[in-house]
Every structure is written in C-alpha cells, then in structure tokens.
Amino acid sequence: TQLEGDRRQNLVDELLTRHRQLEASYRNEGSEPDMSRSNLMAGGAKRGITNPWFLEESEETRGLGFDELRQQQRRIIEEQDAGLDALSSIISRQKQMGQEIGNELDEQNEIIDDLTNLVENTDERLRTQTRHVKMVDKKSTSCG
C-alpha cells in the first residue's frame, strides 16, 4: 500500500542519515563524539521503538573498559565451567550408581527366578505325594 511504501521510504531515509552521521563521527566531524554516538543509538527511541543497544548499563559493568569487561566475562565463563564440571561429576556418579543398581536388580531377579523354579518343583512334588497319599487312603478304606 501507499502507507507501507511511505513507511519504508522513511526507514531508508533515516538509515542514510544515520550512515552519514556515523561517517562524520569516524572523521571526527560535527559535534562531540559521545554526543553523536548517543544520538545515533537513541534514534529509535524518539519514535517509540526500543533500541536494544540503548539500555541502562548495570552497576557491575559501569565504568569498566573493554579489557576489564573481557576479563569479567572470562571470569564468569570460568565459574560457569567449574559449575558444569561439578555437575558433570555428579551426573557421572549418579550414572555409575544407576548401573550398579541395575546390576544388583539383575542378580536379585536371577535369585527370584531360581526360587520360583524351586517352589514350582516343590509344589509339583507335593501334589504328586498328595495324590499318592489319597490313593493309599482310598485303598486302605476300600480294603478295610
């Protein structure tokens, strides 16, 4: 639509303006560099569009230079790595415990299977002997 075309043309014009401002700031032309930088970064805030680069800096990083920020990031990454290593050792220990529990369960299942077979054999012999006793009892009552 015409409205969308106008909106896109405005965006292109704004990008060209920002491009010129950036080039001027690299050549140290125009106003103070910090001021032009903040103007460039805050450009979207004027129209109600939030710019992810124009956020409040946290207290932890305020006033730190590039190298200090890099060191802080490395320290944080090292702490995370140490935490991940600890988590890894805990998980591997739990895996080992799970495997040992599984092995113990296998042994217990074999014992239960052996007991089941013994009980079935004993039950079968008991039934056989019960039949023999009934037969002897029947014969003894018929003879008597």
Total domains in the chain come to: 2
Same-domain status, 15 and 80: no
* Assigned domain for 57 exists: no
**Of 35 and 119, the one with more pLDDT:** 119
Same-domain status, 79 and 24: no
* Assigned domain for 38 exists: no
Same-domain status, 18 and 79: no
Mark residue 81 as left, alpha or beta (left: phi above 0; alpha: psi -120 to 50; beta: remaining). alpha
Same-domain status, 73 and 139: yes
Same-domain status, 18 and 73: no
> Rounded CA gap, 128 and 120, in Å?
12
- Residue 33, helix vs strand vs coil: helix
**Of 34 and 14, the one with more pLDDT:** 14
Q: What is the pLDDT of residues 44-72, one digit of tens each?
A: 445 555 555 555 667 777 677 778 888 88
Same-domain status, 19 and 83: no
Residue 65 φ/ψ, nearest 5 degrees:
-85, 180
> Rounded CA gap, 70 and 76, in Å?
10
CA atoms within 13 A on the CB side of 96: 6
Which are the contacts of 42, defined by CB distance < 8 A and separation ≥ 6? 51, 54
Same-domain status, 74 and 128: yes
Instruction: Quote the domain boundaries for residue 102.
Output: 69-143
**Of 43 and 83, the one with more pLDDT:** 83
Same-domain status, 24 and 82: no
Q: At what angle do helices 33-41 and 2-26 cross, to 10 degrees?
A: 160
* Assigned domain for 77 exists: yes
* Range picked from 7-11, 25-29, 51-55 for highest mean pLDDT: 7-11
Please tell me the predicted confidence (pLDDT) of residue 37.
Answer: 53
Secondary element (H or E) of residue 98: helix 66-143
Which are the contacts of 72, defined by CB distance < 8 A and separation ≥ 6? 60, 61, 64
Q: What is the pLDDT of residues 84-139, one digit of tens each?
A: 999 999 999 999 999 999 999 999 999 999 999 999 999 999 999 999 999 888 88
- Residue 144, helix vs strand vs coil: coil
Please tell me the predicted confidence (pLDDT) of residue 120.
Answer: 96
- Please give the model's pTM, rounded to 2 decimal places: 0.44
* Assigned domain for 35 exists: no
